[in-house]
Structure 1
Amino acid sequence: MLRPGRSSLFFRGWLAAAVGVLVLRPTNGRGVPGSRPNILLLMADDLGIGDIGCYGNDTIRTPNIDRLAEGGVLLTQHIAAASLCTPSRAAFLTGRYPLRSGLSFHESNGWGSAAGNAQTYQFFAGQILETLDAEGLTNSTLVYFTSDNGGFLEAQVGNHQYGGWNGLYKGGKGMGGWEGGIRVPGIVRWPRVLPAGQVIHEPTSLMDVFPTVVQLGGGKVPEDRVVDGRDLLPLLLGTARHSDHEFLMHYCEKFLHAVRWHQRDRGTVWKVHYLTPVFQPDAARACYERGICPCAGHAVTHHDPPLLFDLSSDPSEAHALTPDTEPSFYQLVATVAQAVEDHRRTLGPVPLQLDARSNVWRPWLQPCCGPFPLCWCSREGEGQ
């Protein structure tokens, strides 16, 4: 472990929070040509979808991330299960809404060490890809790239934005329902298996990665709990036309802020908002005066009837529909309300894992490189 410093802390944070690697023994896959792949999972922190070239950015150069998309599949409606780091990552690792694991909580407004730094991510999302090439592992490796949530709009000094950009999508990190906080990059590359350059507009979720990896590894998704993610492989291979997700719930802490409904027979994706944060100042599109938007209380607006958007034609959620502009308004809202009721029947009481009492430093659980409590070393490997 390196001695803490600005560069080493950033690099360690990037490796610990943004990169996961799983190598599987090569055997015959289930209906997939060739052997099971090596699997490389890359997750950036607070990277706005609008910061990446292959998602439309024309001012920031992200050639390595773009190269990944050119050789793989790009998901345009890839959705985080939460608009904050820890609950989103918990859902990513378990395939379950964070509420089910007791990991739905609101973070402080501290800035991430590399929030929104697309160029830094693509420099590293580049070194990793070059290593795969050099080791002859590219064709036998599935690479997945994403972000845990949208860009942190409140990370701003003066007129300079440091927390990433979410493109045309409204809102950002910490906002439970707005697209800017939950629509994230989703790129999957597996040469000679997945079609290169394919773009998929179906709703998918970070929760889908867990069952997909389990299936590719020859394992079995647990049956003793509800798993909300779905195997992505049929969609990626082109053997399925539609995502298995009909409804996706968008939570902020334990509060359901919005719901997405993919109405397949019409090819339309609807979004219903029950709660939205009150932006500050009034004309802003974020909670600049608070540092991050709250999930409940007087700082959110309760909508009755709820706000309704057609994401298929209005992805920036600029024009809320009304009974006058959408003849099916009440029917659509009622359908989503029934889906919410069905979803809530699957929830059970779970103790909060990161409340004030649980989220305290436990030094006896900390990996220690040097003699306790001096758990750092001047050089990697020293004292181990």
Structure 2
Amino acid sequence: MNKVLALLILAGVAIPGYGNENAPPNVIVFLADDLGYGDLACYGNKIIQTPHLDKLASEGVRMTDCHSGGTVCSPSRAALLTGRNPYRSGFFYIHSRNTYLKDEEITLAEVLKDEGYETAFWGKWHLSTLERTGYVHPGPSEQGFDYWMGTTLNAFDKLGGPHGPMAFLKNGEPVGEVDGWYCDVIVDDARDWLATKRNKEKPFFMYVCSHEPHTPIDPPAEYSAKYGNPRVEQLEKQNEYGRVARPKRDISAHKKDYYGTVNQLDDAFGRLMKTLEEEGLKQNTLVLFTSDNGPETPVTFEESQGQWEDPIRDKCFGTPGVLRGMKRYPYEGGHRVPGLARLPGVIPAGTESDVLFNGTDILPTVCGLVGAKVPANRNVDGVDAFNAFLDEKVRRNDSAIWFFPHHGDTWFRMPHISMRKDNYTLVAWLPKRAEGVSLDQWLATSDPDRVELYDVSVDPAQSNDIASKNPEIVSSMKQEMTSLWREMRDEGLQK
């Protein structure tokens, strides 16, 4: 009997086939949007107050090598729900009329529903168009959720702010104007469902996706006011931004809004945890908190002269800590994110784990926890990585790999692909697209070209390229990277 299984049985968690009579574990996945690796106090942030997430870390595990399955929103969400690299599902970028989570994909919600779980989703879906327009995509209902309240993209795209009125849908039907801030609205509904609406005879799976701290950023005044002082001004100057260029113009007045937004998100999360405890569910619920990618970058002056003008991004003060890169970047800062997990009696309180855990691992890890089978007859890239919660080694068949989902040339001069094997990270560029070659043709025919190699165990900032000193490692890793890239890309291009 392995250690994880023994811990589950000792904790009274029901495992099929072992005669346990206690209820199967509930599962809550709480996904923040654009939250950086260095944005929480428990990850070293000296400015932002995050007491509720810090408490979660103290009661469970704080992972220092946790990654989203993609470097931007839709791909990472597809990876989380399917256990598959998002390129396999056709998510080369965010969802559109032709890019959405297809019905043939099997989600974690569908797996758990078949195991007798009640399933519910709140917040930012970003995997299909929820509104019933001229074209209809599979939504949360078709992807296994019994109850849901969510939005397609920004609930407030045309309304000018992250608070009411917002265009939510509930179980496919518009719910009218919803007033309030996004994280508060979804958490309040989730708390109500948890306390009064769910079937209390069933275990449950809750998937809660905040919009914070994605732009637009405009928290309640009382949150911003906490951070408008000289001490914050000095501390912000010590923050690192992944060696990504910041605007030359002065945007410092906006920092208090970003910090206040993360503080507000923490409070909303804390209220959900309070309801969980009040309902007597804390002891038998796995809670996993993470982010969909690294922190967003402001738009520099040079970029704003072209198509990337976006002044609302002037409020982006998220930090990847010491890591290189931010949102979109295949460097570590683009996909290494906060990862906190708690399951009392199973995950030792106050654990710190430096074992890699990827967004694709969530589905098979939960399957292992509840005794469900991982979907068959398809490529599932994640593995049961519960050992990462215990700071113990996780076995993988293939290296973890991430792509920057763009089809053009080296946008922002960043690489296109990164791959981790043990402590080594290989980052690679595809060759420059030749004149007259279409984007699709370029994508379908290009292989990794120029590369860099880093040992992130001693160089988390990826500042020392050691490729020239390690030709054998580069050759082996590049061969694996090329094989995985071709396989995943080609599967996705068939979608």
TM-score, normalising length: structure 2: 0.54
- Which of 3, 9, 15 is equivalent to 1:28? 15
The 5-angstrom pairing of residues 5-44 of structure 1 reads 27-28=14-15, 35-44=23-32
Could you say which residue in structure 2 is the equivalent of 1:262? 421
SS in 1 for 2:356: strand
Contact residue 104 and residue 253 of structure 1 kept, 8 A: yes
What number of residue pairs does the alignment pair up? Answer: 298
The 5-angstrom pairing of residues 1-384 of structure 1 reads 27-28=14-15, 35-105=23-93, 114-115=213-214, 117-154=261-298, 161-162=315-316, 164-175=318-329, 177-237=330-390, 240-244=392-396, 247-253=399-405, 257-263=416-422, 269-275=423-429, 305-323=450-468, 326=469, 329-344=470-485, 346-347=487-488, 348-351=490-493
SS in 2 for 1:196: coil
The CA RMSD over aligned residues, in Å, is 3.5
Residues 261 and 349 of structure 1, relative CA distance in 2, 3 Å threshold:
closer
Residues 345 and 257 of structure 1, relative CA distance in 2, 3 Å threshold:
closer
Query: Which one-letter code corresponds to 1:141 in the other structure?
Result: T
Residues 311 and 107 of structure 1, relative CA distance in 2, 3 Å threshold:
farther
Deviations 1:76-99 (A, max 9, x none): 111112111011101110000111
Could you say which residue in structure 2 is the equivalent of 1:289? none
Contact residue 417 and residue 429 of structure 2 kept, 8 A: yes
Query: Which one-letter code corresponds to 1:230 in the other structure?
Result: V
Residues 345 and 152 of structure 1, relative CA distance in 2, 3 Å threshold:
closer
Query: Which one-letter code corresponds to 1:250 in the other structure?
Result: W
Deviations 1:277-303 (A, max 9, x none): xxxxxxxxxxxxxxxxx9x99xxxx99
SS in 2 for 1:127: helix
Residues 89 and 164 of structure 1, relative CA distance in 2, 3 Å threshold:
same
Contact residue 246 and residue 261 of structure 1 kept, 8 A: no
Give the C-alpha shift of residue 197 in structure 1: 1.0
Distance (whole Å) between structure 2 residues aligned to residue 101 and residue 158 of structure 1: 31
Range with greater deviation from structure 2 (252-261 or 165-174): 252-261
Query: Which one-letter code corresponds to 1:272 in the other structure?
Result: L
- Structure in which a larger fraction of residues adopt helix: 2
Contact residue 84 and residue 107 of structure 1 kept, 8 A: no
Query: Which one-letter code corresponds to 1:56 in the other structure?
Result: G
Deviations 1:258-292 (A, max 9, x none): 333333xxxxx11112129xxxxxxxxxxxxxxxx
- Where does the alignment leave 5 or more consecutive residues of structure 1 unmatched? 1-25, 264-268, 277-293, 354-384
SS in 2 for 1:49: coil
- Where does the alignment leave 5 or more consecutive residues of structure 2 unmatched? 1-12, 97-152, 158-210, 215-257, 300-309, 408-414, 431-438
- Structure in which a larger fraction of residues adopt strand: 1
Residues 84 and 158 of structure 1, relative CA distance in 2, 3 Å threshold:
closer
SS in 2 for 1:241: coil
Give the C-alpha shift of residue 71 in structure 1: 0.4
Give the C-alpha shift of residue 173 in structure 1: 1.0
Deviations 1:122-166 (A, max 9, x none): 111300111111111111111000000011012686996425221
Query: Which one-letter code corresponds to 1:262 in the other structure?
Result: K
Could you say which residue in structure 1 is the equivalent of 2:134? none
Residues 321 and 54 of structure 1, relative CA distance in 2, 3 Å threshold:
same
Residues 314 and 303 of structure 1, relative CA distance in 2, 3 Å threshold:
farther
Query: Which one-letter code corresponds to 2:347 in the other structure?
Result: L
Distance (whole Å) between structure 2 residues aligned to residue 51 and residue 322 of structure 1: 31
Distance (whole Å) between structure 2 residues aligned to residue 262 and residue 246 of structure 1: 8
Query: Which one-letter code corresponds to 2:367 in the other structure?
Result: V
SS in 2 for 1:93: helix
Contact residue 15 and residue 370 of structure 2 kept, 8 A: no
Deviations 1:44-76 (A, max 9, x none): 011111110111111111000010010001111
Give the C-alpha shift of residue 312 in structure 1: 0.8
Contact residue 273 and residue 303 of structure 1 kept, 8 A: no
The percentage of aligned residue pairs carrying the same residue is 32
